[in-house]
Structure 1
Amino acid sequence: MWFMNKKTLSAEQATALHEQAWAAFREQDLDTAQECFQTLAKACPADARWMNGVGAVSLARDDRADARRHFQKAADLDYPGSHYNLGVMAYQDGNHDVARRHFLRAAEHDYPGSHYNLATMAFQEGDHDTARQYFQQAAEYDCPRSHFYLGSMAYQNGDHDAAVEHLNNAVRHDHPEALNLLGDVHLHAERYRPAEQAYRRAAELGHVDGYNNLGLLYLQLEDYEQAKQALLQALQSDHVYAQHNLAVAYHRLGELEQAERWYLISFSQHGNLQSLENLGHVYGDSGREVEGQALVAASDKLYEDQPLNDYEQALIDRLLA
């Protein structure tokens, strides 16, 4: 490190040292980062950047007291990054008033993330108008999460054109939740091809609902073979509704043994009463009308929290054994 022994640094050298410290930090080389920040402290004791940096290293080492102390020193010099970091720590500690105060100060400096955090706090508190304002400010910095929330809020308000616009902005960053919701918006408008593309990309990026929603889309389009393939993929992520939806695909394909198997799994593992009713229909389709009618009747009674008769109870006990 060519300037480690210098007692004074030029502005350019100080900035280079600061950048070197953060490069080491991002590589999780905390010792080198700490050494760089301490060198900067000796040469430029009034430079808030080293205070914030030492705070970040302390926080990475789970020394929250030292992190807060250094962040506060930098915040006293109105360093926006430290206001942001103090806001995050306060929020994690449940002190939302302090968090908001620091985020507001960071936002005055247009510090990245501050507007988004203010928006999510307002959203969680039910103040959607304030949340929307902050999300819009964050979106000006092309924050994908803010685009997603704006798209979600627009969709809930019935403004589907605005929803698509915001969600497309989030999708440029491969935002999985935005892709999945964009699929919902397109599906609602019966734009099936864009919906299919959005759900598939969401699934490829690991969104838990992606393959399940893709399967539901194919079920709606009566493409049961593709629905089955998508829902088999959804099973791999243990989606809570994948068993039931897969059973529906098998049922509509006429593969009654597989339909029976997956309806039973869905009911036994998740208590899905629709699966129990559909299992009754599979029994009926298989020539077991008495049992089938009993299961349909039992599902109706369970929906309404009514007692089962002895035969219905024995039949369900046998299924769950």
Structure 2
Amino acid sequence: MTRKSKSIPLKPLAKEFDNGIAVGKYPIADLRLSEEAEYSHRHDYHFFILQEKGTSYFEIDFEKHQIKKPSIIYIAPNQVHSVLKAENIEFCLLAINNENLHPQYLKLLEEISPAKPLTLSSKHISLISQTFLLCIDLFEEREGKLYLSSLKDSCNTLISLFLSQYLERSGHADTLSRFELVTKAFKLALEQNFIKNKRPADYAQKLNISVPYLNECVKNTTGFPVSYHIQRRVTLEAKRLLFHSNKSVKEIAAELGYDDYAYFSRLFNKATGMTALTFRNKNRD
């Protein structure tokens, strides 16, 4: 049964990981017993998973993923997720907070989010697996004056390997067209400002370009105009709050920057094909 609370459940790193890093290799039994895995929640840290064997079923922001082959999974701090089912899996996991991340990597992670699970080739599986094992060995050492520095450096190396895979699939920055670069900048600005900025003009101003040109870039790259992406991002946050909290629709509208509750309700209905209350009741266990 999904547990409801006043807000989306936010799980911090356990107190024993006060350095802001936790890394390990886990058997299937641990995953089945983990309340974190079973119930929808989010973390205040970044989650990197290497699934080496077996089949898992994740739900990340209302999208279900069946992962059968060796894959990597990145879950950002703001994403609501759960593990629906797991069959004979072996996986390595790294949890790390912002303070331990290389600033450049943190920026790149913001750019690739939300990221879907990626299937790996045997070559990349081997490299990432070996790096995970190094991180685990250093994590368990817990001694020496350079313990935390060595652990942090090795974990950032691991994160760079994850990022390399995601960036390779999305194209290198130096090969992106002008339209793609503008769209990338717009999506990053949207993630940071969607609550207070709801108009395409707001984002065009931030990027120092005209609204028609911003729309041209975004529509050419994604197939949808700027307004679609703004509404889609707001609707996702509304879905998170409707499903994972007991806030009223009026409270959610206000939290998302809408003083006009009726307008928000119409927008949600138009974007999803159902009212906010219907969505909540449909998804309530």
- Which bracket does the TM-score occupy, shorter chain normalised? under 0.3
TM-score of the two chains, using structure 2 as the length reference? 0.25
Q: What's the TM-score, normalizing by structure 1?
A: 0.23
Which structure has greater strand proportion? 2
Q: Which has the higher helix share?
A: 1
Q: Between the two structures, name the one with larger relative contact order (CA 8 Å, sep ≥ 6).
A: 2
